[in-house]
Structure 1
Amino acid sequence: MPGGGDQAAEAEGWPASLAAFPLGQWIADARRTYARAGMSPERVAQLDALGMVWSHYDVAWDEGLAAARGWAQEHGHLLAPTDATHQGYRVGLFLKNARAAARRAEENEQRRAEGLPVQTAAGALSQERRERLGEIDPAWCPAWPIDWQRCFHLVRQHLQAGGQLPTSPGVVVHQGEDLGRWVRAQQLGFDKLTGAVPPSASLTGFKSRSITASRARAPPPEPWTTGSTKTSSSMPRARACSRRRAGEMRVARPLSAST
């Protein structure tokens, strides 16, 4: 509540009797009571009618999701670089954190499936929130570097629009990505590609052939690791991500764009 006495409170529209009321503390106590299911439905309804914000984390999530949806509508995908913004909101950072949380959740799920203990669920993205992002773009959380996935998507988008496969730097630059430089890097590192690609996702022109499952000779990507699971396999998580994308694709180990 405003300080400065009864007159200051009344000037801001507050009753003088509430001039020194610790409203902030009262709201914090109400949130804690609500969080442990100790508040009656009637009081919950009363506070809801006043626009009570029960969780700042939930509000932050809703704001990030709305920004992600807006960014995807403008760009056609949810593979934003880390520095991307939408109407001033740092949507790229929001998505980076969401992917890290989604991978932690997948790691926990894999450990449970293997009968291993899960030390904590803190920092893991819920299934419902993963699905909300997947509804915007099924490929929002690839098992490989986001930069690779973004360039792959933009090249495929360029080809679907009737363009030719760019093979030289500077020829086609879309959404800040030099697609010719990226394609050239994939051509030079073709034998390092690993995984599988459905025919609909193949890009022709890589060493005069499509990227196809028949070329899957390289070892699988190195697994994600955390402090508690240094040797877990990345394949279950890759399969989980591919199911969300309704398909799989072959991916290169990170290649320098200048290669």
Structure 2
Amino acid sequence: MQDANCGSMDIAQIFTPHLTAIARLMLSQLQSAKDAGHRVQKVVLIGGFSGSASLRQYLEGRLKELSVDFGHQVRLTRGMLPGEPEIAVAHGAVLRALDKEKGPDRITQSSYGFLRTEPYTEAMHPGMKPRIDKLDGERYIKNTIFWLIQKGQQLPFHAESSILAIHTFSTTEKQLLCEEILYVSDESTESHYRREHPKNRGHEEAGRIIADMTFLRDEGKIEPIEPEIGYGGKRHYRVEFDLVMIIDGRNLRYEARWPAGGGGEAVIGGNVNIAAAFRPGTN
């Protein structure tokens, strides 16, 4: 077994990359602050490595160079006493939790949308082949995803958006059950494409609800629709309601509301935590 000898050159090769990486981060933050109009004059080191004499000496040298470029002095503060770095981190965490107005923007890293059967239009569905619904005789594109929230979008703390959901049922159906599926994707942003289309790559089911709309028929709130002459179709029921997505901080709630058109009451809903869709520290 050989003895491990470690000379000054070896030590330098081990620690120099760490020193330069820390200096690069510090200089980048100082430049960002300057670009934002802030005049920074002091740099405070915290954390376990902040007590390193080598680190302080290296950063002081880089700050002297930076001070010349900035036209004013930027220096390191005095060394902290034992326990002070931990206290500084704790104080910073509390202050950050109390005031996040200047924190990271609420930019979502994921898209959220609903599975839909959309009325076909050439402008919205170029190159797609529609299917004719056997009940109402209309042309539809089935199993598309409509991304109500798109990756890269800045979201307010509270927000609502909705789309119209349409379901048709034979008059012989015992129950009018409307299933709605919520999807999430870290890649997709474009709506109106079928679920398995490459534009919807990376989609995953995030939740689903089944809205029982049988009461609309039983209470006489909807009537059977007779097929129009020359258009095909059969006698059927048509159920329309708003499919609503509600953002509440880091929570996403989705609801089926009837009647459609705004102001309807929630028939059923579900919840999804979307904290992972934001950068750490986002309110």
Q: Which bin holds the TM-score, normalised by the shorter protein?
A: under 0.3
Greater relative contact order, per chain length (Cα 8 Å cut-off, separation 6+): 2
Higher strand share: 2
Higher helix share: 1
- Name the TM-score, length of structure 1 as normaliser: 0.27
Question: Which protein shows a greater Rg?
Answer: 2
